[in-house]
Amino acid sequence: MTDALLQEVAARYGTPTYVYDLDAISARVADLQAAFPGALVHYAVKANANGAILRHLAGLGIGAEALTEGELERTLRAGFDPATIILGGPGHTAALAARAAAVGVGLVSLDSEGAYAIWSSVQAPQTRFVVRLNPGFDPHTHEHLATAAATSKFGETLQATRAIAARLYEAGKLAGFHVHAGSMLDDQSVAGLVVAALEPLYQEFVGLELVDLGGGFAVPHPPLHAFAETYAAFAARHGVKIVLEPGRFIVADAGTLLTRVLHVKESGRRHVIADAGMADLLRPALYGAHHPIRLVGEAPQAARALPTDVDGPLCENADRLGQDVGLPAVQQGDLLAVGRAGAYGFAMASNYVSHLRGAEVTVAAGEAKLARRREEPADLWRLELDP
């Protein structure tokens, strides 16, 4: 997206505003399909559930991974074939299982004995199951993102996984097993740890159809083909098809958060107060995530980059988009672009301190369209009941 287009979007729709490049999303899907030929790609809806993005991905012919009733309904509304939807996550309820079975969800990842107990009482003739293993290794990422760690809440031990799988196998409902190592994975050795953990299960339960390897590929440049080589060798050895559940990898780089400078002040440190902060993009405050931030439009050629804290407008010291960011001497009214904001940006945004969530805009072939309007004050109490 050009700076001219970003300036046009900000002028038309205001700030803060999220802008998503649908062509970049298509390119990321193509990258995955090239690296993993024949794999079944299911977009992890939690990364970004915007309806325009979901409709675009459904149109590309890939599947979806939903975790909640809301995500399931969003994927159905966007046009995903229920047979291409995976229902995952640790929080399955009887109501969610009944709804998923009724619409014909094709694959369910069972995270626990409790989830198996719920599903064992549901009539779901069109649904197959994978059982999620907690392999208990270090996936070399941030502790909040390390879903394969022994302390993680996800999946079951090898012994419990075997027990659940045996019952499904006997009933002819076991499609395979599931390991999601973590997020922001950039160490190719993790792929070897994943397949080593799965090996005994696929030796014991022969003739399975799938291996669900999750997603979690780092952005912007993971060793995608190294992961693919290891995973493809395992799949070929056991005659199974690879299932992937990427979210961030598909949408992160496609998204930009636009924000305007409200104030600039020098108080020992150089602080730029912007109109977007942790209520719009929580990741920097939540676990120190880094997002590139730049001035939109041409800065003077002689402009020197100065270490700058880009802070939000809320009364929280953690309300920050970036620390020690290299920016020229920006001033009130300047437009900033926060990059890699397409994943877990708007999805984690909130109305903290009655902050109004911004607009969402999609861009395709250089044309911008409003995908979600900016909130108004009345939206804050729309669901409240009068006394």
> Helix, strand, coil: what percent of the chain each, to 5?
35, 25, 40
> Which residue's structure tokens are 């074939």?
81
Catalytic residue, from 302, 315, 365, 378: name it: 315
- For the chain, the domains span 3-18+253-372, 22-251
What is residue 186's predicted lDDT score, i.e. its pLDDT? 72
What is residue 375's predicted lDDT score, i.e. its pLDDT? 98
User: Over the Cα atoms of the chain, what is R_g?
Assistant: 22
What is residue 140's predicted lDDT score, i.e. its pLDDT? 56
Q: Are 140 and 190 in contact (CB under 8 A)?
A: yes
SS3 (DSSP) at 226: helix
Q: Do domains 3-18+253-372 and 22-251 have the same CATH topology?
A: no
155 φψ region: left (φ > 0), alpha (ψ -120 to 50), beta (else) = left
Give the count of alpha carbons within 13 A of 73, CB side only: 5
What is residue 151's predicted lDDT score, i.e. its pLDDT? 64
What is residue 49's predicted lDDT score, i.e. its pLDDT? 98
DSSP secondary structure letters along 69-92: HHHHHHHHHHT--GGGEEE-SS--
Q: What is the pLDDT of residues 257-287, one digit of tens each?
A: 999 999 999 877 899 999 999 999 999 999 8
DSSP secondary structure letters along 330-387: --TT-EEEE-S-SSSSGGG---GGGPPP-EEEEEETTEEEEEEPPP-HHHHTTTPPP-
Assigned CATH topology for domain 22-251: TIM Barrel (3.20.20)
Nearest CA to 162 out of 116, 214, 99 is that of 116
For the chain, where are the alpha helices, taking DSSP H only? 3-13, 22-35, 51-59, 69-78, 94-103, 113-119, 158-170, 189-204, 224-238, 248-251, 283-287, 377-380
Pairing of strands 306-311, 320-327: antiparallel
What is residue 109's predicted lDDT score, i.e. its pLDDT? 96
* Sequence-distant (≥ 6) Cβ neighbours of residue 261 within 8 angstroms: 272, 273, 274, 330, 331, 332, 333, 334, 335, 336
Q: Are 247 and 283 in contact (CB under 8 A)?
A: no
pLDDT < 70 positions in the chain? 136-153, 182-183, 185, 299-303
Q: Is the peptide bond before 37 cis (omega within 30 degrees of 0)?
A: no
* Sequence-distant (≥ 6) Cβ neighbours of residue 213 within 8 angstroms: 178, 179, 180, 194, 231, 242, 243, 244
Q: Are 10 and 335 in contact (CB under 8 A)?
A: yes
Q: Are 285 and 320 in contact (CB under 8 A)?
A: yes
Which of these CATH numbers, 2.70.98.60, 3.40.50.10860, 2.40.37.10, 1.10.8.10, describes 3-18+253-372? 2.40.37.10
Nearest CA to 180 out of 154, 205, 219, 203 is that of 154
Residue 315 appears among annotated catalytic residues: yes
What is residue 305's predicted lDDT score, i.e. its pLDDT? 77
